Every structure is written in structure tokens, then in C-alpha cells.
A and B are shown apart, each in its own frame.
Chain A
Amino acid sequence: MSAFSAIGEDREIDREEFTPTLEPQATWCPGCGDFGVLKALKQAMPEVGRNPDEVLLVTGIGCSGKLNSYFESYGYHSIHGRSLPIARAAKLANPELEVIAAGGDGDGYGIGGNHFMHTARENHDMTYIVFNNEIFGLTKGQTSPTSPKGHKSKTQPHGSAKDPIRPLSLALTSGASYVARTAAVNPNQAKEILVEAMQHDGFAHVDFLTQCPTWNKDARQYVPYIDVNDNDDYDFDPTNKEEAAAMATEAEQSLYEGEVLTGRFYVDADRPSYSEEKQAIGEMPEEPLAERYFDDDYEWERTHDLLLDRHK
């Protein structure tokens, strides 16, 4: 028996396997968009064909960070903004895992902004879901990096003087090889995008519009949304970076004007993932490192020869 026999198991996967029974009770507010993400993710899993024991879901802090409390898999509910560095190292340690990172817009575009840029740049093979509700939920309604300019909150009583972050453009320019936006109000599109993102070999960024009826009452429910890949008014080629960038910019601007554009904005299926690049230059073994610790036949190197060689 392999040390990680859950990996690559060949059987029908049922979405209910990802639902915890009995515990715990969801603490999300009624009508919260986060339910939509959870539902779409559970629906995506059977299609991706991964079972709970081979999935690692790393989250940050916030309402969004509780995603893995309601999702049955290996989970790491970490610290505010740090899901990406944890997730990408786990992927390097064992590339055979299905690694998903998730967090809120404050978590992902604020405190974790630097990690976002660098993880995209390195093109780690993983999926990153950002619950974009344009507000800090868990800490009770402060302005977030995606809140519109002029947005008033208890910490910005005169209205925010800042322009919001443009996450799709940021992901694209940073080097993400898959960039999409979907919305909790459309579980079907959301599921499809998540399946694609997980199947994509590289860094897949999904900006997931989630409404927060508790603190962002004015915010639209992100309806009616338009799927840009499925609408003749938007003619662009998502494999062309320039066209993708123009489309992303338009989508980001129009969101604040009440038009919700969703879909796949950029897909680069050719760019090698970070592990592939690292393996190609001899900085990462072909076999999953983690396996080695369970392999009784592996001959562990001693430093003694190296030491004699260099230090005698």
C-alpha cells in the first residue's frame, strides 16, 4: 500500500462526501454569498474526480476563511492573508495533491496582496478562490480593498478616498495563467469555472463575487450578471493576453457601474507550472518529496562525504 493511497483513487466521487455530517453548524448569515461558493465547490469535486483525502483546502481568516469548516477534506484554516504561501509549499512538497486556497478580498487583496502577486508570478499549479464581497465581513463591515471609491463605513466615515483594487488585471499582469470571475448567484457557471480552474495546470485565480447582506446592504447581489464568453456583445479571445487585459479592465470598471461581467478572462494552457520549471532546472525532484519519508527503501544521503570534500 502506498503511503498516500487516497491519491489517484479511481472511483465515482459523490458530492455528499464533501459535506460534514452533524458538526459544525454554519455560522454564515442567512443569504450570505459564501454558501454559493461552498455549493459550487462541492458540485465541482465529482467532476474533477478528487476525493476528500487528496484535497488540501487552505484558507485565510474572515467569514470566507471558514469555508473548510463546512467542507470535508484536508483543511488548513490558517492566518489572515497567508493561505497562498502555505498552499504553494504544500503543493511543492506533494504535487499530487489537489491544492486549493481561498479567502476574502481583505484577506487576499489586502494583507495577502504581496503573496497574491508572487504566487501568480510563479504560476504554482493550484486554484485560488477569492470571495469578493467588497467588504470586511468578519470584523463587521469595514471598507475593503475592493470597496468602491466613496464607500462609507465606520472606519471610513467620510467615504473611501481610494480607488478599488483591480484583481483580475492584477492577477493577469502578475502572471496568473488562468483568470476568471464568477458569482455566487450563478452556481452553474461557478461550478464550471471551478472545475476548469482545478483542471488547469498552473495558477488559476477565481474572483468569486459573493454578496454580504449583513454589512454591504447597498451592494448589488451581482445580478443580472453577464457571461462574457457566452454573449455576442463581448467579442474577445481569452487566450490573447492583450484582449484579455482589455476585457478584464472593462469588467472591473463596469462592476462599480452596476454591470456584472463574469466568465473566463484569460487562459494560457501552454505556460509551464512552477513545479515543472523548477524540475527542469534541477531544483525539485520528479517524485513527490513527501513520499520519500514513507519509503523504507529510500537511501537517505548523509552529509559526511560532502563535509570531507569541502571542509578538510
Chain B
Amino acid sequence: MTDHELMWRIAGGSGDGIASTSQNFAKALMRAGLHVFTHRHYPSRIRGGHTYTEVRAKPEPVRSRGDGFNCLLALGDSFARNPQEGAYYGDEEVKPLSENLDELNEGGVIVYDTGLLDSDDIPNFDQRVEENDWHVYPLNLREIARDHGREVMRNTAGVGATAALLGIDLQYFEELMAESMPEDILEPNTEILHYTHDMVKEEFEFTHDLRVPEGNHDEEQVLLSGSDTIAYGALDEGCRFIAGYPMTPWTEVFTIMSQALPEVGGISEQVEDEIAAAALALGASHAGVKAMSGSSGGGFALMSEPLGLAEMSETPVVLVEAMRAGPSTGLPTKPEQADLEHVLYTSQGDSNRVVLAPGTVAEAYEQSRLAFQLAYGYNIPVILLYDQKLGGELMNVPASHFDREPNPDLGAVTTEEELEEAPHGPGGKFHRYRYDAEDGVSPRSIPGQKGGHFLVTGNEHNPAGHIDEDPTNRVTQVERRMSKLDGVREFLDDKNTQTYMGPEGADYGLITFGSQQGTVREAVDRLNEAGHSVKGIGVSDMMPYPVEEMTEFLESVDEALVVEMNASGQFRGLTQKELGRFGDKLSSLLKYNGEPFEPAEIVAGFEASIEGQDVPDQQTTYVPAAGD
């Protein structure tokens, strides 16, 4: 596999431009005709501390990180040289090199900056190089950058060097730099790029055989993250109001929306806290604007009460929940899928909400649009659940995927003409919560509409919205609100939102949700290539749960492995609860160390599950089937 794929890792300190450099690198490879995928790793620190981004590139579509990587560009961590001696962070100078070696594959290439890193500080470095057949190219990138521009341009020198070693055409980098840099920075950067590239070609004899693969796209591609696609989906669906409070990783969606909304005449509000944020979204929605809010774990916890109010009052709203590892503030910059139960059941009373969990960057656009269609079509809160991995990873997607018509339809609302005919109470209040609504969806009126005034309340209420504790009214209203989920289920079934992988008739199933979908897909492919009979399903509907599809899937296999990033098997639990059976068929593969699965770990987990072995990787946990 490594023969025709590049897995390039750039490492350095947080704040050293690792993210932007890798983004450009990925874009350059995409423009060169390859499929790309990035995987980000960063500490919860503003400046300094070990950070890296991997760019995986292949001629075929890539949907996950690889197993390890095969080319390292180690830049120095410029913030590691702590001026306060003996400060808490201690001596981290060599981390960009040392921390990455464990995952570097055999035969891999290393480029490192001798200006900031000293391989002598790494125990057994030479011995490890020899044992692993690594090909090392030490270069004083810092000095080159300083001589030809400024020291911070070390990144560009590093890119020039790896481009030479891997045979990547500089033209793509030049174009990208020209598009994004002002003249005075562009010039020295271009010089550094060329200088390093040519120097490496002249001065080194290449001992490695890794070269960038060749590829070709048959249509135009764009490079996007899950946060981007969630934002674009919302905008295309006519969302013009967002309210939020920063919290990693939700901040990405909030930022993208805040920058785009003024351009399209929409409103973004950074407010005092998450309770306010969700409440603002409800207020804007009530007044007739498509609105969203969101947060991550702890911030979403604060939104619990407004969420319940949205359910009871049937105020449409989309809330996004970007999961990071918990509990509490947990691992602020690391992914986990452990907020599923929180999002399904938080807030008092019976849950009456929709929860969608997109599995890929492209799907996140789809699901974001769906979220608004459902929220406004059914007057119900919809939660878009994803994690730090999906939010931050970049992937190429055909541009045509996003070439759609906007849908600003406000959904289940009345017009003033309809209000004239609609039933009203004795005081003139519009019967907004009428009992006999089709599909359970009683259309709302918008403040300012003539003849439309009514009362919204979080208390149980009668058709006009008045607080009402009559048992018959209570039962009627509960049942009407809950019945909306049946309509949502039908709507989703028509859209075919689950993702199937592998041969239909396979004996064994892999089940996953959210951001692990791409990795599971790769594992399914590898397992079938290796002669196993495996298919997979990436589930995106958490509530209402796709009972029929999952029953069919599970009936068709002998056994199934549920892959998820948490310690308690929350999605497996949901599956068993919803289906009420199959406990004897379902095993779990869990990972909760702050890193997403690698495909090989799923392959190993599969093998362990069919052979009843322990999972070899210490970082994953295998939980066998439990019986019903």
C-alpha cells in the first residue's frame, strides 16, 4: 500500500504555522491530481508543544488517515526554548523529531531542521534509523530561511526540501503562495522555496524510493473540513442567524459562520454564555429567521434547558455539538464520541428531538442541510453531532457536490391568508398547537403576522398555548409531539441516509457512526482484499434510530463489531436499546485515548473478534458479545 501513497507528516510547535503549511501542502497535492486527507494532532496550548498534521495522498479516494506515515518533516518548536529556565514545560526542543519516530513506517524519509533540532539528543537515533531503514536528510532550514528571508519562513524551506525529495512540482506551491501572500512576503518565500528545492537536488544523493504518486481528477475538486461543510450546508439552507460562545472544537463552525454571515446579510452574535446562545437562536427562530447555535460538551450541557424549551414549545432550531474527549473539559483538542448519550437524553422529560451524526466531510454538508429541513419542516430541535476529528480534517470533494439550489423555505409556518381561515381561541389567539395536525406538525405563525398571535410556553399547554394541566390535553399533546418523529423517520428513510460499505452478502458486519466511517470503510476494503467476508454500515441517524435498516443489516450477518471512540460503547448500547435484540451478535471495538482509529487497528480488532483473541494494540479495547 505504501508503494503508491504518500503519508507526509509535518511536525513542530503549536503556533509555528504547521496547520497553514499542511493545508497548503494538501491543496497543492489536490491540485496536482491526487486525493487527499488530513489528520490533525495538537495540544491544548496556544504556543509551543508538540503538534503535527498528516497529509495522506493517493491516486484513489482517501477517506481516513493511514497506518503510521512514511515521510516526516520535523521543524523545530520555536516556542520550546523556554526563556524561564526550569519552567514547567521543561526542555521540549527535540520533540518534533523524537515524538514522531514511533509511528514512522519502515523505509520512511526524515527531513529535519538542524538549526533547531539535534539528533544527538535522541537516544539510539542512529541505531533506530538503521533498524528501520529510514532515510535521513538533515538540513539547516532555519539558516536558509534566515539568509533568504526571515526565520519564520522555515516552513517554506521544509516544503521546498520535501518537494525535491518526493518529486512534487513546485508550480502548485508557487500558485498557492501567490494567491495568499502579500508581495513583500511572497518574494522571499518564493526564493526560499526554490533555493532549498534546488540545493537538496544538487547536494543529496537520494537513497529512498518514496515518490509522490501520480493522479488525475476527472472533475474539479475542493478541499474542505467538516466544520466548513456544516457551515456551508447551513448557509445554503437559508440559515441567517447564529449565536454562540467559543469552545473548542465548535469554535470552528462559529467562526466560519461569523465571517460568512455579514456577507450575505445575516447576523452572528457572540454572547455571554451558552444558555444565552441557545436562547438567542430560539428567539430569532421564533421571530421567523432560520437560526442555529452550538457548542462542545460542557457548553452544550448549559444548553440543556433551552433545548427542552425548544422541544416543548416546538420552536425550530439547529444545535451543533462538536464532541471532544470528556468528561468535563476533558481533552480540549482531542476527539471522542462519548457525548452521544448526553445529546440524546439531556434535558428533562421524554426526548423529542432529532439527532444526526454525519460521517464524512461531504456528508456533513448533506446532514447540515437535512438538519434545517427537519427542524423547520417539523418545528423540532435538531442536533448535529460530530467530533473534533471530522470538524478539523480536510478532504477533497468534487466541487459539483456543493452546486445546489438554496432552500430558504421556512417550513411549517402559516401565511396571513391561512391565518384568516385558521381556528382561533375566544380571545383571538391562533390555535398554533392544534390537536388534529397532520403528521403531528401544527404550523406556527410568526410575530407580526396579522391574526397570528398566540402564546408559547415551556409548560404543557392547550391549542392556543395557554398553560393547561388537563390530563386529556396532556396526553394528546405529548402524543402529537412524539408522533412527529415518525414523520421524520419516513422522511429520512426516503433520503437513504445510512452509508453501506462492502459486499451486500457478506457474513460479518462492522457498524459505526460519525467520524469513524471513513476509517471503517478502509478497514472493510482491506479485510475483503485479505479474503474475509465483511460489510459495513455507517449510521447517521441517532434519533429517530433507523430500526428497520439496522434490523435488516444485523439479520443478514452472523456477527457484528461496533466501532466507536468511547469507553462505554454508547452507540452499541443505543443499538441494543432500539432494536431490543442482537446483543449476542454485537461485539465492541473501543478507543478513547484521544486519537481516532487507524484502519489497521480495526483490522486487528476484527481478527481478534472472530478468533476470540485479545486485541494486540494496547490503545484499543475489545468487548465481546454479551448475549441478550
A53 touching B448 in the complex, CB below 8 Å, given contacts A3-B416, A69-B467, A289-B240: yes
4 A-B pairs besides A4-B450, A290-B288 with CB distance below 8 A are A23-B464, A54-B448, A284-B267, A308-B399
Contacts of B232 in A (CB 8 A): 303, 306-307
A285 within 8 A of B: yes
A87 touching B429 in the complex, CB below 8 Å, given contacts A7-B448, A303-B236: no
The reply to whether A289 and B241 contact each other, CB–CB distance below 8 Å, is yes
Partner pick for B448 among A69, A82, A97, A282, CB 8 A cutoff:
A97
Partner pick for A75 among B264, B271, B306, B453, CB 8 A cutoff:
B453
A189 within 8 A of B: no
Q: Mark A76-107, 1 if CB is under 8 A from B, else 0.
A: 11110010111111111110110000000000
CB contacts under 8 Å to A, within B455-474, are 455-459, 464-467
A195 within 8 A of B: no
CB contacts under 8 Å to B, within A1-16, are 1, 3-7, 9
Contacts of B464 in A (CB 8 A): 23
The reply to whether A114 and B283 contact each other, CB–CB distance below 8 Å, is no
The reply to whether B280 and A20 contact each other, CB–CB distance below 8 Å, is no
Contacts of A302 in B (CB 8 A): 236, 404-406
Contacts of B406 in A (CB 8 A): 300-302
Contacts of A77 in B (CB 8 A): 455-459, 467
The reply to whether B410 and A293 contact each other, CB–CB distance below 8 Å, is yes
Contacts of A278 in B (CB 8 A): 267
B287 within 8 A of A: yes
Contacts of B235 in A (CB 8 A): 301, 303
A72 touching B467 in the complex, CB below 8 Å, given contacts A86-B280, A90-B287, A312-B399: no
A6, B447: Cα distance in complex, Å: 9
User: Which stretch (B106-114, B219-227, B503-511, B565-573) binds chain A?
Assistant: B219-227
Contacts of B261 in A (CB 8 A): 283
Contacts of A66 in B (CB 8 A): 467
Partner pick for B224 among A289, A290, A311, CB 8 A cutoff:
A311
The reply to whether A93 and B288 contact each other, CB–CB distance below 8 Å, is yes
A117, B457: Cα distance in complex, Å: 25
A89, B220: Cα distance in complex, Å: 40
B172 within 8 A of A: no
A66, B428: Cα distance in complex, Å: 18
A290 touching B448 in the complex, CB below 8 Å, given contacts A69-B466, A78-B309, A311-B228: yes
The reply to whether B269 and A79 contact each other, CB–CB distance below 8 Å, is no
Contacts of A217 in B (CB 8 A): none
Nearest Cβ on chain B to A147's Cβ, whole angstroms: 24
The reply to whether B222 and A289 contact each other, CB–CB distance below 8 Å, is no
The reply to whether B429 and A72 contact each other, CB–CB distance below 8 Å, is yes
Q: How many A-B pairs with Cβ below 8 Å?
A: 244
The reply to whether B269 and A89 contact each other, CB–CB distance below 8 Å, is yes
B216 within 8 A of A: no
Between-chain CB contacts (< 8 Å), 26 pairs = A3-B446, A5-B449, A20-B426, A20-B429, A61-B458, A75-B453, A75-B465, A76-B455, A77-B455, A78-B309, A82-B276, A82-B306, A92-B267, A93-B291, A94-B289, A115-B272, A118-B272, A285-B265, A285-B267, A290-B289, A292-B408, A294-B288, A302-B236, A302-B404, A304-B403, A306-B263
A145 within 8 A of B: no
Partner pick for A283 among B268, B273, B287, CB 8 A cutoff:
B268
Partner pick for B286 among A20, A54, A76, A82, CB 8 A cutoff:
A76
Contacts of A289 in B (CB 8 A): 240-241, 265-267, 284, 288-289
Partner pick for B280 among A54, A88, A285, CB 8 A cutoff:
A88
A91, B288: Cα distance in complex, Å: 11
A304 touching B402 in the complex, CB below 8 Å, given contacts A23-B426, A24-B467, A68-B455: yes
A73 within 8 A of B: yes
Contacts of B263 in A (CB 8 A): 301, 306
A197 within 8 A of B: no
Partner pick for A20 among B240, B262, B399, B427, CB 8 A cutoff:
B427
A58 within 8 A of B: yes
B275 within 8 A of A: yes
The reply to whether A23 and B458 contact each other, CB–CB distance below 8 Å, is no
A19, B455: Cα distance in complex, Å: 13
